[in-house]
A and B are shown apart, each in its own frame.
Chain A
Amino acid sequence: RKEVEQDPGPFNVPEGATVAFNCTYSNSASQSFFWYRQDCRKEPKLLMSVYSSGNEDGRFTAQLNRASQYISLLIRDSKLSDSATYLCVVNRLDGYNKLIFGAGTRLAVHP
């Protein structure tokens, strides 16, 4: 079983739609959670951190469910520019604190 699992998609949605991605992680000791965004043929960039209480950044809302060990990302009012792959990222502490990246969920927003 992968440490971080994501639905690979693609999610094809029209502009203005609301779309949600889920991610599950296997290590119950994980304490830090993030969403990174990776545009086609580009490097990953931090989109947002995920906090226990849930957090929002404009049209993006991230939530964490520790009991079920899943993280979600909600995008409201999708824009064409949101088309990208979204990487779920979780920490693993085994001597050093490392980030474990999911394989990503691809989003395609169409006119």
Chain B
Amino acid sequence: DVKVTQSSRYLVKRTGEKVFLECVQDMDHENMFWYRQDPGLGLRLIYFSYDVKMKEKGDIPEGYSVSREKKERFSLILESASTNQTSMYLCASSLFGTGTDTQYFGPGTRLTVL
């Protein structure tokens, strides 16, 4: 069965802190994605990766960075957390490189920045 896990379900951080969100998939998928989901705005793509050590900016990369050192792991980093980064963060993976394959999501991390 497809499995995407995220390191935390809930996180509370303070403004200015460096925040790491981890995502692991066990399906040997090529592509991995980070989204944030906010009411009324839907899921917005932050960054994605189509291969180990490769990364591409999504639609809202400002204030974020990513790391993909191993195929199964994709990390999202908030260099200096701000209150407007309070959101639900969803990681996803997909098998092929076409970008439109089924995306399998993790359970999400609800981040609150105070």
Contacts and interface: CB of A to CB of B under 8 A. Distances in A.
Interface stretch (A43-51, A55-63, A64-72, A75-83): A43-51
Given A43-B107, A44-B103, 4 more contacts: A43-B105, A97-B99, A97-B100, A104-B42
Interface of B: 35, 39-45, 48, 50, 56, 58, 90, 98-100, 102-108
Contact of B99 (A43, A98, A104): A98
Contacts of A20: none
- Identify whether the interface residues of B are mostly helix, strand, loop, or mixed: loop
Contacts of A42: 107
7 contacts: A32-B100, A93-B99, A97-B99, A97-B100, A99-B103, A103-B40, A103-B42
A43 B108 CA distance: 7
- Identify whether the interface residues of A are mostly helix, strand, loop, or mixed: strand
Interface in A79-106: 87, 91, 93, 95-99, 101-104
A101 B99 contact: no
A96 B56 contact: yes
A93 B100 CA distance: 10
Nearest to B38: A103
Contact of A101 (B42, B48, B102, B107): B42
A46 B50 CA distance: 20
A4 interface: yes
Taking residues whose C-beta sits less than 8 angstroms from the other chain, chain A's interface range is 20 to 34
Interface of A: 4, 8, 32, 42-46, 87, 91, 93, 95-99, 101-104
Contacts of A93: 99
B106 to A, nearest CB: 6
Contacts of B106: 43
B41 A103 contact: yes
B98 A97 contact: yes
Contacts of A99: 45, 99-100, 103
Given A98-B48, A103-B40, A103-B41, A45 B56 contact: no
